[in-house]
Each structure stands twice: as C-alpha cells, then as structure tokens.
Amino acid sequence: RVWREVVRLGADLRRLADIKGSTVDAEVAILLDWSSLWAQRHDCHPSVDMTAAEEIEAWHRTLWRAGITADLRPPSADLSGYKLVLAPSLYLVSDDAAKNLAGHVASGGALAVGPYSGIVDPNDHVRLGSYPGAFTELLGVRIEEFCPLPADGAIDLDDGSVGLVWSEQGEATTAAVLARYSANAGPIAGAPAITRNAYGDGVAWYLTTRLDEPSRERFLRRVAEAAGVTGFGLPPGIEAVRRRDPETGQTYLFLINHTDADTDVPARGADLLTGQSASGRFRLPGGDVAVIHEKHGEA
C-alpha cells in the first residue's frame, strides 16, 4: 500500500507542474499579538475564562470551515491588501498599532473586534477614559462596566445569538446597534451586544460578548459578505484553498475531503489530478483530494 501511495504521489506531482509559482492570496487577516496574549494570561483579570489564544483559534476555525483562507498578522502590519481584518482578542495594543488599524478602516477597510480589546498599553497599564480604550472612537462605543459570566453561563441576544463567558454594559456613541442583550439578561438588558460603526471610508464592527459557535458563524458570515469576502458555501468536512498565478491570473482550487462520504463541492474547471471536469459541482470522493484548474474569469 505504501509503495502504491508513493508512486501515486509522484504521478500527482508531475500533473501539478502548472501550479509552480502560484501563491495563496488571503482576503482576511486575523490579528495575533504575542505580547497581548501573554498579558492576558495574568491572573488579575475579571475572568479567567477570557482566554485569548482559544478565541483566536475559534474564529480561524469558523473561517476554515467556510473555505476562507486567513493570514495571521500582527496589528502593526501593512493590512492594505486585506478585505477584512479580524481582532478576536486584542487586550494589549500600542498607540501605533491602534493608529494603524484606525487608518486601515478610514481608508476603506473592514475591521471586526472582539470584546475586552484595546484595554492596556504595551506596559500593561490600563488606558484612561472609557473602554474599549484605544478603540473607543474607532468602534463608536463607550463601555462602562465589564460583566463576566459564569464558566457555564450564557446570555441571550435579541437577534437570536448566544453569548458566552463575557458581557459588557455600555452605550453606542456613533455606532449602529445591530443586536442588544435580551430582556432576560438582567441588569444589562437592552445594552448593545453587536455594533457597526462607519469610520472614514470603512466600517468597524464590535462584539461585547463572545459568541457561541453557531452565532459566531452567522456573525462572521455577515461581516465577510459585507466586506466582499467569498466563502461559506462548503459542505461540512471539506477544506478548500485557492492559489493564484501572479503572472497569468490562473487560479487553482485545492480541495480535501476529510470525511468518508463522496461529497458534491461547488467548483468550475478541471481536476489536474484526474482530468475530470466540473461545471458548477464536483463530486469529491471520501478521503480524497482534487486540484481544480478553474476557468479563467469564473473563479
């Protein structure tokens, strides 16, 4: 079996010669800052359950399942090439990084920020004024109080979403409120839970709670579609990554079926490995892979 697989791999690599030089062009960036992660690991926070690394991984997992490729970037990076920038958890941020994000949005970019972000500077000093600190103007919200939830607790939003671990009491200053905490949310009932703020030529979204998985998928679908990012059309268990030749513009869609079942996948072009054509749907066998040379102009 091993011999047959090695022989097949060699044959597959020969068939994939045309993809040499192609690159993965991510439309989404997820912000990851190690200083922020380390600072949030201290035991002096309002909730020990507000772990940053796990939340960043959760947002990335939602995008991966949707077939959206995302780069991990520091908040100080050049973000001009991304349609959407996500900051699931950015507790610590420098003034320069905050200005970089504000400039990205002002120039037409889209940014989505998770709760408990912008709170401290690089010295782990809490920023004076209201929360979310460095992002108060950018997000158009003013948070007055943090309201951690029990480890197994949940809180309802009036759009049907469910929040976990954390909530915040505050008000929208310039942002539009897209969802509020439901009437059964106790003292924070009616407070903004999801907001959207027009800033310059772009837009900045803010969550004052951590969403459960179905709610997070709906939220990221909404912000991705608003930013012009394609995805969320894949069946469960299908992984998809698109590569592009920078010289010819030709695109290649890599598909992996992580399930045991044959699955129809949206695709248009021809599989470089088998020669099988696809005119809208491609049948990908369970446990198999395909590399679709997409029809130019129809990717």
Domain-wise residue ranges, the chain: 7-23+234-294, 28-227
User: Please, which residues have CB within 8 angstroms of residue 279's CB and are 6 or more apart in sequence?
Assistant: 268
- For residues 60 and 117, the answer to whether their CB atoms sit within 8 Å is no
Q: For residue 157, what is the DSSP state?
A: B
Q: For the residues of 91-145, what is the DSSP string, one character each?
A: -B--HHHHHHHHHHHHTT-EEEE-SS-S-B-TT-PBPSSSBTGGGHHHHTEEEEE
The alpha carbon dihedral of 134, 135, 136, 142 has a sign of negative
Share of the chain above pLDDT 90, in %: 87
> For the domain bounded by 28-227, which CATH number is listed?
3.40.50.880
* Strand, helix or coil for residue 203: strand
Query: 3-class DSSP state for residue 291?
Result: strand
pTM to 2 decimal places: 0.90
Per-residue pLDDT, 298: 47
Cis peptide before 132 (omega within 30 of 0): yes
Residue 223: what residue type? Answer: V
Return mean pLDDT, the chain: 94
Percent of the chain with pLDDT over 70: 99
Residue 256's alpha-carbon distances to 18, 172, 209, 242, in angstroms, are 19, 43, 33, 12
What pLDDT is recorded for position 296?
59
SS3 assignment, position 71: strand
For residue range 200-232, list pLDDT tens digits in order.
999 999 999 999 999 999 999 999 999 999 887
Q: Which fold has domain 7-23+234-294?
A: Immunoglobulin-like (2.60.40)
pLDDT tens, position by position, 223-281: 999 999 988 788 999 999 999 999 989 999 999 999 999 999 999 999 999 999 999 89
pLDDT at position 231 is: 84
